[in-house]
Chain A
Amino acid sequence: MKGTMTTRLKDNAVTILFAVLCIGSILCSGQPMSYIINETAARISRNAVLILSLILPVLCGMGLNFSIVVGAMAGEIALILITHWNVGGALGMLAAAVICILLGSLFGFAVGKLMNRAVGQEMITGIILGYFSIGLFDLMFLILLGRVIPFYDEELMLANGIGLKNTIAFHDDVKNYLDNIWRITLDWSLVYAAIGAVAVLLILTVRRKRNYGETFFQAATRCRRAAITAGILAAAAIIVWSIPALRLACQGTQVPMAVGIITALLCLLTTFLTRTKLGQDIRTTGHNMDVAIASGINVGRCRLFSIMFSTVLAALGQVIYLQNMGNMNTFSSHEQVGQYAIAALLVGGASIKKASIGHVFLGAALFHILFFTSPLAGNRLFGDAQIGEYFRVFVGYAVITVALVLYGLKQTAQKRRNEETKR
């Protein structure tokens, strides 16, 4: 028992370290609880889909998909186009989603094909591919647009008619559109989320009961993940409603429900995929490619699908992110997408070989709390916000490095253990 405790602690060292840092940073920043909750909720809703997009490639054994930068670009192109066409509102968002899916699939296909030629080197390929595509994006929209590509838009382009402006502000019916469809305070949205999770649990349970003829209770305990999720959300709702101070803080926080619902649906889709035949093939490929090939699984197609799915999700995620920001830095807003999303996922406890939706949300919360509180804490402690700023840049990269090193160490240890048992 003691052994399992220590290994558990060791396995989650990064997450625990971050939790401690977050608490310290919150205390040092001296901000009220309502502010912290407000910012955290906003950042989770804005980043969750981007982080979620990383899961499938991890399961497929391709590591952390740094090339979601390419997906983010697809999302940006979609937003540029709907701004140019001047369609907004629901129609505009739908158009953007369609463009995201089309362009994302196309880009994802290209990336996936490339990765299938670089088996075992996916991560470094992804990083360099990201840089390369940034160059391509700049070339396209800074030099070729207006000069070679016939495109004209006074609002979006530089005065000489060549290239896009550095900053593009979205129209009012795009800016925060998804956020503003339906906003409710956090205390109520927790209740809704709990009810939703219980409903999903009920559907699964009834399905199980019908298929296998188990009793209601048996079936409910069998759907473990769904039961745990429902339990956590219900508990959170009860806690918030029973502590007045916390409820007051939550009441000041508006939650964009449309974004929440989209995120929840995409989470369900990802979970669903991992439970299907396709998902099993993907996981088999991730565990051991040679075995997968020998048992007749089309490994290349599994990897291609994972990357395409990831790229499309990243495109959608970038649209959600940017409509929340209200404007975009045309040539730099995609630069850090991969690093930050990956750092957040790793903080949540994921590794190169395993990742789950739980890691996505936990990581998003911890990483972003530290992200916005550390400059505040730096300001309050040392009178210089810049210190906190440096700290968070350092943290973003350090986390990725630590995760990679830990994974390497774990692999060596595993190898040694295997050798011992073999003898």
Chain B
Amino acid sequence: MRNIGKEYYGVRVLKNVSIRLKKGQILALLGENGAGKSTLMNILFGMGVIHDTGGFEGEIIFEGKEVKIAKPSDASELGIGMVHQEFMLIDGYEIAENIRLNREISQGNILSRIFGKKLELLDRRAMRMEARKTLDSLGLEALDETVEVENISVGYKQFVEIARELNKKNIKLVVLDEPTAVLTEGEAKQFLDSVRAFSRQGISFIFISHRLEEAIEYADTAAVLRNGELVAQCSMEGMTAEKLSEMMIGRTVELIKREERQESAKTGGILFSIRDLHVAMPGERVKGVDLDIREGEILGIGGLAGHGKVGIANGIMGMYPASGTVLYRGEPLHMEDTLGTLKKKIMFVSEDRRGVGLNLEASIELNTVIAALRVNQEYLRKFAGIRFYDHRAAAAYTAKMIKEIDIRCTSGSQPCKRLSGGNQQKVSIAKALAMDPEVLFISEPTRGIDIGAKKLILSYLVKLNRERHMTIIMTSSELAELRSVCDRIAIVTEGKVAGILGPDEEEYKFGLLMSSSIQKKTGEGENDEEDKTPV
């Protein structure tokens, strides 16, 4: 691909990018979220979004010839396949049907001879045999090709996706968009090993990943994008994760930077007193949490996925049925009354920002002020006794927030679905801040967003705590992140608080608290597996 450029709605997302890939090699395409990786790959694959928004600049040279790729089927004909980040599988079809999707094997009959190939009958048996061969070559002898896709695990779905591409006879280049994000470590290794085996047979791969170690181990070369520009394309030989991340961010990063500790947090009065909290959140059940939260502190809630750490904030905010007592400033808090809780200036930034946190169709501006508008009746203007939406005030506040936390967008009126994950998270935070909260529950604030945005969000949280004396309860799966900003960290295991540690305690202590249940379990033989599905 040479000199590729692309504008979306007046925002330039790709500038003059050229990458080269040899036959049988694996290229790792790296970059922060929003750096233009997906856009680049969409151009290569001829996805509809590219042409609906005005096409692109530059040229694509494939096997020595300049090619025009206007739609996905053009790319398929050339032998370019793509494994999408979201699964492109039909749930109701069996695996074999998915693998041969739109390349079904069919047999002629009388009608098809008159009316054309479209009326040929499907040959399911041949399709299953073909699928079987490909699955075997991926080392998936145990997977039955006649099972419907909705009944298999996420990891297997990823394998079916790539099996579909590799099953194509003329396949020469496969694009993998974050293939290992949903896989467990073992699955990821098996997956990448088979990718490597296929690359030895002369198939090239472009592989987008956030796991740098993986990229270094498996890729031959790396292309790093930053802000729509190519930083470098270089060989992976002798490369380290630090060097790569430096190229991605464009500045030296300290992945874990300790914030200065504050002494006041230790002396603050008790703000929240939680006793015997149970929350019926599916997959994250809370089974009797006792916890005190001090005024002005940043409390971290950590623990393994599925043990209930996410459920605490969701329960207190009334998102899921909860029982137990919660005292806020000495008064009981009615958890089911979300509006009342919000009125007490307690805000919640959900871990599910696309589902609960934001209205993706609506503009940044509306998303930012909606909570304040609903709960506090702000951003309203009275006219003849009827309240109208005050667009001007809302726009002014949104513009301020866009500047303050660096939301990258065309304007406040851009719909949220067009933003990258990190910027959506920033809008969620802006929405909570519009309420001017005293307490902020924030769950998984950095999940699925890039290092740059992560750092900004974390330091902004600290700033809010120090300058506005906001009490922050942050739930996160990343212990390093909790240790970098929190004053105290509560570890939740099996729906209960296993212990509270200071951020400077040694790492193995956290590990012990998280795994205490596992040790106990082997002792008691208690079976609690169904709650432990990995996220």
Asked if B90 contacts A287 (CB within 8 A), the reply is: yes
Asked if B91 contacts A297 (CB within 8 A), the reply is: no
Stretch from A86-94, A225-233, A270-278, A396-404 forming part of the interface with B:
A270-278
For chain B, give the interface size range: 20 to 34
**Across the interface, which residues of B come within 8 angstroms of A280, CB to CB?**
97, 104, 122
Contact residues of B: prevailing secondary structure: loop
Cα-based distance from A349 to B102 in the complex (angstroms) = 30
Expressed in whole angstroms, the minimum distance between the Cβ of A407 and any Cβ of chain B is 15
Within 8 Å of chain B (Cβ to Cβ): is A294? Answer: yes
Stretch from B112-120, B195-203, B370-378, B521-529 forming part of the interface with A:
B112-120
Q: Which residue of B47, B84, B89, B121 contacts A276 across the interface (Cβ within 8 Å)?
A: B121
With A297-B102, A423-B306 given, is the CB distance from A278 to B118 under 8 Å?
yes
Asked if A272 contacts B111 (CB within 8 A), the reply is: yes
Within 8 Å of chain A (Cβ to Cβ): is B386? Answer: no
Cα-based distance from A290 to B73 in the complex (angstroms) = 14
Contact residues of A: prevailing secondary structure: helix
Within 8 Å of chain A (Cβ to Cβ): is B93? Answer: yes
**Across the interface, which residues of B come within 8 angstroms of A273, CB to CB?**
119
CB within 8 Å of A: which B81-108 residues? 84, 88-93, 97, 101-102, 104, 106-107
With A284-B101, A287-B91, A295-B88 given, is the CB distance from A420 to B282 under 8 Å?
yes
Within 8 Å of chain A (Cβ to Cβ): is B283? Answer: yes
Q: Which residue of A290, A293, A294, A423 contacts B533 across the interface (Cβ within 8 Å)?
A: A423
Asked if A423 contacts B284 (CB within 8 A), the reply is: yes
Within 8 Å of chain B (Cβ to Cβ): is A291? Answer: yes
Expressed in whole angstroms, the minimum distance between the Cβ of A267 and any Cβ of chain B is 15
Cα-based distance from A284 to B535 in the complex (angstroms) = 29
With A212-B125, A276-B106 given, is the CB distance from A295 to B72 under 8 Å?
yes
Asked if A293 contacts B72 (CB within 8 A), the reply is: yes
Asked if A288 contacts B90 (CB within 8 A), the reply is: yes
CB within 8 Å of B: which A328-382 residues? none
**Across the interface, which residues of B come within 8 angstroms of A160, CB to CB?**
none
Q: Which residue of A278, A288, A294 contacts B84 across the interface (Cβ within 8 Å)?
A: A294
Within 8 Å of chain B (Cβ to Cβ): is A419? Answer: yes
**Across the interface, which residues of A come within 8 angstroms of B90, CB to CB?**
284, 287-288, 291
Within 8 Å of chain B (Cβ to Cβ): is A281? Answer: yes
Expressed in whole angstroms, the minimum distance between the Cβ of A404 and any Cβ of chain B is 21
**Across the interface, which residues of A come within 8 angstroms of B125, CB to CB?**
212
Q: Which residue of A291, A296, A423 contacts B76 across the interface (Cβ within 8 Å)?
A: A296
CB within 8 Å of A: which B489-535 residues? 533, 535
Expressed in whole angstroms, the minimum distance between the Cβ of A290 and any Cβ of chain B is 7
**Across the interface, which residues of A come within 8 angstroms of B97, CB to CB?**
280
Among B84, B88, B306, B533, the one with the most A-chain Cβ atoms within 10 Å of its Cβ is B88
**Across the interface, which residues of B come within 8 angstroms of A296, CB to CB?**
71-73, 76, 102
Asked if A277 contacts B72 (CB within 8 A), the reply is: no
Expressed in whole angstroms, the minimum distance between the Cβ of A414 and any Cβ of chain B is 10
Interface residue tally for chain A (C-beta within 8 Å): 26
Cα-based distance from A297 to B104 in the complex (angstroms) = 12
Cα-based distance from A290 to B107 in the complex (angstroms) = 27
**Across the interface, which residues of B come within 8 angstroms of A7, CB to CB?**
none
Within 8 Å of chain B (Cβ to Cβ): is A242? Answer: no
Cα-based distance from A421 to B282 in the complex (angstroms) = 9
Expressed in whole angstroms, the minimum distance between the Cβ of B165 and any Cβ of chain A is 11
**Across the interface, which residues of B come within 8 angstroms of A211, CB to CB?**
107
Expressed in whole angstroms, the minimum distance between the Cβ of B120 and any Cβ of chain A is 5
Asked if A290 contacts B88 (CB within 8 A), the reply is: yes
Expressed in whole angstroms, the minimum distance between the Cβ of A423 and any Cβ of chain B is 3
Asked if B118 contacts A277 (CB within 8 A), the reply is: yes
Asked if B106 contacts A277 (CB within 8 A), the reply is: yes
CB within 8 Å of B: which A254-305 residues? 272-273, 275-278, 280-281, 284, 287-288, 290-297
Expressed in whole angstroms, the minimum distance between the Cβ of B132 and any Cβ of chain A is 15
Among A277, A287, A421, A422, the one with the most B-chain Cβ atoms within 10 Å of its Cβ is A277
**Across the interface, which residues of A come within 8 angstroms of B533, CB to CB?**
421, 423
**Across the interface, which residues of B come within 8 angstroms of A297, CB to CB?**
102
**Across the interface, which residues of A come within 8 angstroms of B121, CB to CB?**
272, 275-276
Expressed in whole angstroms, the minimum distance between the Cβ of A4 and any Cβ of chain B is 15
Cα-based distance from A212 to B282 in the complex (angstroms) = 48
Expressed in whole angstroms, the minimum distance between the Cβ of A206 and any Cβ of chain B is 14
Q: Which residue of B101, B119, B120 contacts A295 across the interface (Cβ within 8 Å)?
A: B101
Closest B residue, CB atoms, query A421: B533
Within 8 Å of chain A (Cβ to Cβ): is B48? Answer: yes
Closest B residue, CB atoms, query A287: B90
Expressed in whole angstroms, the minimum distance between the Cβ of A12 and any Cβ of chain B is 19
Closest A residue, CB atoms, query B283: A423
Asked if B118 contacts A276 (CB within 8 A), the reply is: yes
Cα-based distance from A259 to B153 in the complex (angstroms) = 49
Asked if B92 contacts A287 (CB within 8 A), the reply is: yes
Asked if A276 contacts B283 (CB within 8 A), the reply is: no
Cα-based distance from A210 to B125 in the complex (angstroms) = 14
Closest B residue, CB atoms, query A292: B102
**Across the interface, which residues of A come within 8 angstroms of B111, CB to CB?**
272
Closest A residue, CB atoms, query B90: A287
Q: Which residue of A277, A293, A423 contacts B535 across the interface (Cβ within 8 Å)?
A: A423
With A287-B91, A294-B84, A296-B72 given, is the CB distance from A275 to B102 under 8 Å?
no
Closest B residue, CB atoms, query A353: B92
Asked if A276 contacts B88 (CB within 8 A), the reply is: no
Asked if A277 contacts B120 (CB within 8 A), the reply is: yes
Closest 8 CB pairs of A and B: A423-B283, A296-B73, A278-B118, A295-B102, A420-B282, A287-B90, A295-B101, A291-B88
Given contacts A272-B111, A272-B121, A277-B122, 17 further A-B contacts (CB under 8 A): A275-B121, A275-B122, A276-B106, A276-B119, A276-B122, A277-B104, A277-B117, A288-B90, A291-B89, A291-B90, A294-B72, A294-B88, A295-B102, A297-B102, A421-B533, A422-B283, A423-B282
20 intermolecular pairs with C-beta atoms under 8 Å apart:
A275-B122, A276-B106, A276-B119, A277-B118, A280-B97, A281-B102, A281-B118, A284-B90, A284-B102, A287-B92, A288-B90, A291-B101, A292-B102, A293-B48, A293-B72, A294-B72, A294-B88, A419-B282, A420-B282, A423-B535
